[in-house]
Amino acid sequence: MARRSSEIKKIQDSSKRYVAFTKRRNGLFNKARELHEICDASVAIIVFSLAGNAYAFGDPSVCSVVDRYRQAGAASPDNIIPVAGNLTAAEKKIGEILEKAVETNCTGGRSVWDKEVDKLEFGEIEDMKNAMEEMKKMIRLYQRRILSDESNRAKRSHA
Amino acid sequence: MARRSSEIKKIQDSSKRYVAFTKRRNGLFNKARELHEICDASVAIIVFSLAGNAYAFGDPSVCSVVDRYRQAGAASPDNIIPVAGNLTAAEKKIGEILEKAVETNCTGGRSVWDKEVDKLEFGEIEDMKNAMEEMKKMIRLYQRRILSDESNRAKRSHA
DNA sequence: TAGACTATTTATAATGA
DNA sequence: TTCATTATAAATAGTCT
């Protein structure tokens, strides 16, 4: 790594954490690909972000490796396989926006959301206004998602 | 890495390949642990060596992450990339709360959410303030859900 | 904001014991 | 073989755009 003072701990600044998550997730998947190509190993990785978004890497595929793992290891009684309703790109976007909106306004323990509106300092009003606009966008997007949900459901059955 | 001339290809010498496999597997697991600790993500990795030995890493556990992945409807198996954002039951609950919060402040087709904050009439400010307080509660709920997510995850692995 | 860039730290292939 | 060492490549946190 770089420019890190040898300490592994949670990044508190949410925007930095978001960037770090993306970079490190890509780095991890890259390492997995190299392990596969160099050593001819089968690898599967599943990652969930703090917000609940899922990312996966699998070679030859996530499912095949997981299934093999299940067979090899303790025979889990779980009902394998997937496919509930997959999520659209729009839904994924919602997750990202939620994540960002929440974290952006909750950094470092000090947050405009932690105060009563009446008690906001003058300088904080601008922050609150921006946060509100952001929240409004999020709400709208969510509304659109709900409205278009029905029409998308058919398309999602395969992905 | 080191002393490698930028080429990613299978190591032919089996003893060297074995050494490389062990090192890289440890490196990969280490990266996964860092991703978890730094970005608070959930990660599961399953690796099969060429010889067929299985190695796994999971935080909080391989099974819980895999189960969650399956529930998320991760059908798409393939290499890399966002499978999808997924909504758990808890997240759907959040959605309902969001919806309700929005509708509550949409009396008579006229909604404070439809205006720029700067352009609110004097009388609307109180409405907006109340709406904001409501939104804040919602946000808190979402935060609490995220915070308690890790501790609950184990319990949810069966659901 | 998302990409480049850069200064460092890490990871690791080769080597030696 | 399996450590430890070391020289070098790669990853990445911070920074700048």
Contact state of B78 with A61 under an 8 Å Cβ cutoff: yes
What DSSP character marks residue A88? Answer: P
Highest mean pLDDT among A9-13, A97-101, A155-159: A9-13
SS3 label, residue A4:
coil
Highest mean pLDDT among A76-80, A91-95, B36-40, B86-90: B36-40
Highest mean pLDDT among A82-91, A147-156, B56-65: B56-65
Contact state of A45 with B42 under an 8 Å Cβ cutoff: no
Task: Reply yes or no on whether the pLDDT at A82 is more than 50.
Answer: no
Residue range B119-126: average pLDDT?
56
Give residues 9-28 of chain A lying near strand D (Cβ < 7 A).
11, 16, 19-20, 23-24, 26-28
Residues 6+ apart with CB under 8 A from A85: A153, A156, A157, B73
Distance from CA of A150 to the nearest CA of B (A): 15
SS3 label, residue B46:
strand
CA B144-A12-A7 angle, to 5 degrees, is 130
Mutate to test the interface with A, among B83, B128, B143 (most CBs of A within 10 A): B83
Residue range A89-94: average pLDDT?
39
Highest mean pLDDT among A42-46, B76-80, B138-142: A42-46
**A60 preceded by a cis bond (ω within 30 of 0):** yes
Q: Is the distance from CB of A159 to CB of B72 less than 8 angstroms? A: no
Does any strand C atom come closer than 7 Å to the Cβ of B47?
no
Tell me the average pLDDT of chain A. Answer: 61
